[in-house]
């Protein structure tokens, strides 16, 4: 019983950390990387599909992405989707290739991105703490039903707290790394 609660808590905490990584990928640094466009969807025959399902995305150089749609007719739609995605990017098409230059980050935009990253990290910490609260609640209900002893309850809560500390530490390391990337000129 207790092992199931611990495993569930750990998997949910791991998902919170993975979600943080995905959210950090949307926050662009000064360098080009293809995950910046992961949130972009394109109208493809009446349905919205992720951009990576209609085009290949490559890093051309440190500040430029090249997007090559698999169908010639998709070039204007992909270009429009990148423009309207609110990422602050201005794509330019040259035949079948769409080049997406990464604008230089100003001090002000860097600070804004750091603030956004800290907000995302805090949301991840709150999610991990909510998992801890849920797991401790499950453990207390087992105690009330007399399925476990008080000693087992304390050991289980200690184990859940150690998991929480581990994942919050990883969130902090990830945030520190992202802040470092954002402050590099």
Task: Tell me: do 164 and 179 sit in the same domain.
Answer: yes
Is residue 84 domain-shared with residue 129, that is, in the same domain? Answer: no
Q: How many domains does the chain have?
A: 2
Do residue 72 and residue 111 come from a single domain?
A: no
Domain finish residue from 101, 125, 141: 101
Domain that holds residue 91: 34-101
> In angstroms, how far is CA 20 from the centroid of its own chain?
4
Same domain, residue pair 11 and 51 = no
Give the residue from 112, 111, 118 showing the smallest Cα distance to 172.
Answer: 118
Q: Kindly report the pTM of this predicted structure.
A: 0.72
Let me know whether 134 and 170 are in one domain: yes
Single out the residue in 70, 101, 132 at which a domain terminates: 101
Residues whose CB is less than 8 angstroms from the CB of residue 118 and which lie 6 or more positions away in sequence, other chains included: 175, 179
Tokens for 124, please give them.
């991840």
Given a contact cutoff of 8 angstroms between Cβ atoms, the answer to whether 100 and 59 are in contact is no
Burial class (CB in 10 A: 0-12, 13-18, 19+), 117: buried
Q: What is the pLDDT along the chain (185 residues), one digit of tens a residue?
A: 888 889 999 999 999 999 888 888 777 666 777 777 777 888 888 888 888 888 888 888 878 888 888 888 888 888 888 888 777 778 888 888 888 888 777 888 888 888 988 999 999 999 999 999 999 999 999 889 988 888 988 999 999 999 999 999 999 999 998 888 888 76
For 35, which DSSP code? G
Distance CA 27, CA 85 (A): 13
Are 127 and 179 members of one domain?
yes
* Residues 118 and 56 grouped into a single domain: no
Among residues 68, 101, 134, the one where a domain terminates is 101
Strands 97-101 and 64-69: antiparallel
Give the 3-state secondary structure of 50-100.
Answer: EHHHCEEEEEEECCEEEEEECCHHHHHHHHHHHHCCCCCCCCEEECCEEEE
Q: Are 92 and 132 in the same domain? A: no
Give yes or no for a contact between 48 and 42, defined as CB atoms under 8 angstroms apart.
Answer: yes
Instruction: Indicate if 114 and 96 belong to the same structural domain.
Output: no
Task: Please check whether residues 72 and 117 belong to one and the same domain.
Answer: no
CATH code assigned at 85: 3.30.1360.40
């Amino acid at each position: 019983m207790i092992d199931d609660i611990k495993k569930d808590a750990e998997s949910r905490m791991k998902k919170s950390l993975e979600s943080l990584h995905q959210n950090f990928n949307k926050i662009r640094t000064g360098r080009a990387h293809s995950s910046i466009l992961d949130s972009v969807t394109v109208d493809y025959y009446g349905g919205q599909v992720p951009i990576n399902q209609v085009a290949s995305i490559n890093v051309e150089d440190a500040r430029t992405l090249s997007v090559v749609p698999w169908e010639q007719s998709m070039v204007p739609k992909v270009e429009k989707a990148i423009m309207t995605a609110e990422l602050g990017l201005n794509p330019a098409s040259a035949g079948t290739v769409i080049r997406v230059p990464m604008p230089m980050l100003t001090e002000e935009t860097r600070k804004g991105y750091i603030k956004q990253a800290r907000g995302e990290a805090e949301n991840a910490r709150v999610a991990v703490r909510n998992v801890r609260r849920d797991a401790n609640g499950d453990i207390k209900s087992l105690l009330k039903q007399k399925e476990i002893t008080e000693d087992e309850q304390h050991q289980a809560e200690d184990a859940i707290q150690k998991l929480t500390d581990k994942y919050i530490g990883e969130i902090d390391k990830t945030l520190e790394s992202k802040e470092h990337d954002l402050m590099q000129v």
